[in-house]
Chain A
Amino acid sequence: MNNRWILVIIGILVLIAVAIIFYAMTAKKKPSKHTAKDTYEDQAKKDVEHIFNDDFRQELRNRGRLYFEKIINENAMFLQQDLRMTTSQLNEYMKKEITDKLQEEFVKYEQTIRDANQVALDSIAKSNTALETETQTLSAQLMEQFNNEKARLIKRFEENMAEIVNYYVVSAIGSQVDLNDQLSFIISDLQANKDEIVKDINNGA
Chain B
Amino acid sequence: MAPNDPSKEVLPDQITTPGDLNRLIRELDDLDEYLNQAALRSAQEPSRLPQTSKALEELAALNSLQLLKADDRATFKDLLAKIKQQAPTIHFGFASAPSLTFLSKLVSWLRTNIHPQILIRVGLEPSIIGGCIVRTTNKQFDFTLRKHFVGKHDLLVKALSGREEPS
Instruction: Given A179-B98, A198-B114, answer yes or no on A162-B139 (Cβ-Cβ < 8 Å).
Output: no
Determine whether the beta carbon of A204 is less than 8 Å from that of B132.
no
Q: Chain A residues near B47 (CB, 8 Å)?
A: none
CB contact list, A123-158 vs B, under 8 A: 158
Indicate which residue in B95, B101, B137 contacts A201 across the interface (CB closer than 8 Å).
B137
Determine whether the beta carbon of B129 is less than 8 Å from that of A200.
no
Q: Chain A residues near B110 (CB, 8 Å)?
A: 190
Partner-binding segment picked from A46-54, A100-108, A109-117, A163-171: A163-171
Any B CB within 8 A of the CB of A35: no
Determine whether the beta carbon of B99 is less than 8 Å from that of A180.
yes
Instruction: Given A161-B160, A191-B113, answer yes or no on A179-B99 (Cβ-Cβ < 8 Å).
Output: yes
> Which residue of the partner chain B has the closest CB to A165?
B156
- How many A-B residue pairs lie within 8 Å, measured between CB atoms? 97
Determine whether the beta carbon of B143 is less than 8 Å from that of A200.
no
Encoded as 1 (CB less than 8 Å from any B CB) or 0, chain A from 173 to 192 comes to 11001011011011101110
Alpha-carbon distance A180/B104, docked complex (angstroms)? 11
Most buried by B among A170, A179, A200: A179
Instruction: Given A162-B156, A165-B156, A183-B105, answer yes or no on A201-B136 (Cβ-Cβ < 8 Å).
Output: yes
Shortest Cβ gap from A61 to chain B (Å): 137
Any B CB within 8 A of the CB of A194: yes
Alpha-carbon distance A13/B29, docked complex (angstroms)? 209
Most buried by B among A177, A186, A187, A196: A186
Any B CB within 8 A of the CB of A193: yes
Indicate which residue in A162, A170, A198 contacts B153 across the interface (CB closer than 8 Å).
A162
Indicate which residue in A166, A182, A183, A185 contacts B146 across the interface (CB closer than 8 Å).
A166
Determine whether the beta carbon of A201 is less than 8 Å from that of B88.
yes
Encoded as 1 (CB less than 8 Å from any A CB) or 0, chain B from 15 to 55 comes to 00000000000000000000000000000000000000000
Determine whether the beta carbon of A162 is less than 8 Å from that of B157.
yes
Q: Chain B residues near A158 (CB, 8 Å)?
A: 157, 160-161
Any B CB within 8 A of the CB of A16: no
Q: Chain A residues near B156 (CB, 8 Å)?
A: 162, 165-166
Determine whether the beta carbon of B132 is less than 8 Å from that of A193.
no
Indicate which residue in A170, A194, A196, A198 contacts B149 across the interface (CB closer than 8 Å).
A170
Q: Chain A residues near B146 (CB, 8 Å)?
A: 166, 170
Any B CB within 8 A of the CB of A7: no
Q: Chain B residues near A15 (CB, 8 Å)?
A: none
Alpha-carbon distance A179/B132, docked complex (angstroms)? 9
Q: Chain B residues near A173 (CB, 8 Å)?
A: 130, 145
Alpha-carbon distance A147/B131, docked complex (angstroms)? 41
Encoded as 1 (CB less than 8 Å from any A CB) or 0, chain B from 128 to 167 comes to 0111101011110101011001100100110011000000
Shortest Cβ gap from B125 to chain A (Å): 12
> Which residue of the partner chain A has the closest CB to B145?
A170
Instruction: Given A197-B136, A198-B115, A201-B90, answer yes or no on A162-B160 (Cβ-Cβ < 8 Å).
Output: yes
Determine whether the beta carbon of A187 is less than 8 Å from that of B102.
no
Determine whether the beta carbon of A183 is less than 8 Å from that of B138.
no
Determine whether the beta carbon of A189 is less than 8 Å from that of B143.
yes
Instruction: Given A166-B150, A171-B129, answer yes or no on A204-B88 (Cβ-Cβ < 8 Å).
Output: yes
Alpha-carbon distance A200/B91, docked complex (angstroms)? 13
Which A residues have a C-beta under 8 Å from some C-beta of B? 158-159, 161-162, 165-166, 169-171, 173-174, 177, 179-180, 182-183, 185-187, 189-191, 193-194, 196-198, 200-201, 204-205
5 smallest A-B Cβ distances: which pairs?
A204-B137, A174-B129, A189-B143, A166-B149, A200-B136
